[in-house]
Structure 1
Amino acid sequence: MSRFFNILSNLFPLWVAAACVWSLLAPQTFTWFIPYIIPGLSVIMLGMGITLSVEDFKRVATMPKAVAAGVVAQFVLMPFWGWAIGKALNLPTDFAVGLILVACCPGGTASNVVVFIARANVALSVLMTMCSTAVAIGLTPLFTSYLAGQYVPVDAAGLFISMVKIVLAPVAIGVLLHHAFPKLAKAVLPVGPLVSVIVIALICAAILGARAEAVMESGLSLLGAVILLHSAAFASGYFFARILGYDTLVRRTISIEVGMQNSGLATALATKHFAATPLTAVPGAISAVMHSVIGSALAGYWRLKGK
């Protein structure tokens, strides 16, 4: 049975891509899941927490340089790529600003799921996501203002509270359950990745379906820009970690953290603060799908390849 679950999990890119195509053809099919996006991620985080022990986090505490490297890469490499790609492709103002906004946001919680599926360092990934979100309170508006030409306010308290609810609390509860009920952790381990795959596919399809018309109208230029942004981020994050001399699992973790953004935050900020130019939110919607597709493809490859 475990082998069967592993086979389904290894097909992660296929399930996500199929759900995305389906949502474009029939947008209303998956939009029902939109209210369940945050609870869905919380359930995934709880499942991952159950597979983690206190010792895992103690080991991460001995690697402060890896956490710092990931956060630095997040807020140096990604904003640069967002600005450079927009300039190089001469994107329209709305799309260029939207791409920069995506690039200046912190790492997304979905990265923790992809790291989990890739069999990289989940505890390190969770810590990096929390740290990048904390510093994003100041850096996201600062970098967006500098690169996009105007200031984008961030609800720092609300963002932090959401991170605590979506990531920290479920993972902490999961770790406690792991400690109190080790047999439960052993039972969850085979099915955890498959549950993650299903939820991520539903999230991507729901986001894309809700914005299908704008996505279809945006054309290949924006799609190419978003794909290029995330591809460059995954690659540069990996090689940045390699240059610093980190092992394979840390390289994969940093690569995924840099490549996967909190696109939902970017979309929300664009909707709220760029209401006069609604297409500014489109890069965030496409990003939410593409970073999951690219990340899931990497996760599937690395999962099969092993260490």
Structure 2
Amino acid sequence: MNVDDVVLNFAPGSMIALNVVLGLIMFGIALDTSVDDFKAVARAPRAMAIALVAQIVLLPAVTFGLTLLLQVQGSIALGMILVACCPPGNISQVLTYRARGNVALSVSMTAVANVIYIFVLPLSLAFWGGLHPTGREFLQEVSLNGWQMMAEILLIIGLPFAAGFLLRAKAPRLAARVQPYARWVSLIGLVGFIVAALVGNWAVFVAVLGIVLAVVFLHDAVALGLGYASALAGRLPSRDRKAVTFEVGIRNAGLGLGLVFTFFDGLGGMAVVAGWWGIWDIIAGLVVASLWAWRTRRREAAVSERAAHPEGVA
């Protein structure tokens, strides 16, 4: 099967549901965001600068090189580039917490990055997609309008974020009660949507299963590794490295999937990559976070043991 010629089927009502879920995700992020989070960027700009450069510049560039190295079909390559150009996902904060990383930094980075990505995403996708030897033909076919995409992103993530941010500022107690429900309902809704998309187009997914599993596995590993390597090169402390790793490695593939159906008519390779990434990203992130937490607990236990029995230390 030539995945470049495949278009996935999706009911218009499902797209409305997806946009609602994506808006709820951004609303939940904003409910957990305050002016202090943005002020924290000014107090600790190095971590933020490292995370932004890694996400906005390095990840799309490395992804572009990976598509050429793997020699994937054009629609799959464009799907990988789209995911790399998407903003960070809010589950990065959950994973940072589980890994015992700097959650406050994670919240600040996600808040700032999502605002910046309203403008960066269309430009980045047009630039890197337009450079790709086989992916650019799909951009030309849809005549991608950066302003139209920016307006769509503003509606999906900008307005819900502004609404949640204002609610947090005006009614912090109400925001604190609503935030956990918004976070988990939106996450469950997004996973449910992606699963439904894959099940509803199962024949297409099975036909490209091998290449998509391998591509997404490698791409996700590269994204997480790039986040960690950037933080390590920037000489950030351990807790900050964890936050930056997940900030760069966890992408809002749900938004990418919505854009595939809005601007690319459900193009097979793009949709399958974005859909599977949304599931695998969570699985891989949980594994990394759990291993990180286990290693941290062991290190803390060893330190406590040495402190309790100093005579046993040579």
After TM superposition, the score normalised by the length of structure 2 is 0.70
SS at match of 1:216: helix
Structure 2 residues without counterparts, runs of 5 or longer: 1-8, 98-102, 301-314
Question: Deviation of residue 229 (structure 1)?
Answer: 0.4
Q: 1:257-296 to 2 correspondence within 5 Å?
A: 257-263=247-253, 264-265=255-256, 268-269=259-260, 278-279=268-269, 281-296=271-286
After superposition, the C-alpha distances for 1:194-244 in whole angstroms (9 at most, x for unaligned) are 334422322322332343221111031321111110111112112212221
What corresponds to 1:218 in structure 2? 208
What corresponds to 1:22 in structure 2? none
Question: Deviation of residue 182 (structure 1)?
Answer: 2.9
Contact residue 104 and residue 143 of structure 1 kept, 8 A: no
Larger CA Rg, structure 1 vs 2: 2
RMSD: 3.8
After superposition, the C-alpha distances for 1:104-133 in whole angstroms (9 at most, x for unaligned) are 52325xx12432563332232121133244
Distance in 2 (CA, whole Å) between partners of 1:136 and 1:146 is 15
Structure 1 residues without counterparts, runs of 5 or longer: 1-27
Tell me whether 139-148 or 266-275 shows the greater mean CA deviation.
266-275
What corresponds to 1:45 in structure 2? 26
Distance in 1 (CA, whole Å) between partners of 2:126 and 2:216 is 21
* Cα distance change, pair 163–65 in 1 and its aligned pair in 2 (3 A): farther
Distance in 1 (CA, whole Å) between partners of 2:46 and 2:177 is 34
Match of 1:139 among 119, 124, 134: 124
What corresponds to 1:199 in structure 2? 189
Counterpart amino acid of residue 157 in structure 2: V
Does structure 1 residue 98 correspond to structure 2 residue 64? no
SS at match of 1:148: coil
Counterpart amino acid of residue 118 in structure 1: T
What corresponds to 2:6 in structure 1? none
Match of 1:77 among 35, 58, 62: 58
Question: Deviation of residue 38 (structure 1)?
Answer: 1.6
* Cα distance change, pair 229–45 in 1 and its aligned pair in 2 (3 A): same
Question: Deviation of residue 189 (structure 1)?
Answer: 5.3
Q: 1:54-69 to 2 correspondence within 5 Å?
A: 54-69=35-50
Distance in 2 (CA, whole Å) between partners of 1:158 and 1:280 is 19
Contact residue 92 and residue 250 of structure 2 kept, 8 A: no
* Cα distance change, pair 141–262 in 1 and its aligned pair in 2 (3 A): farther
Counterpart amino acid of residue 288 in structure 1: G
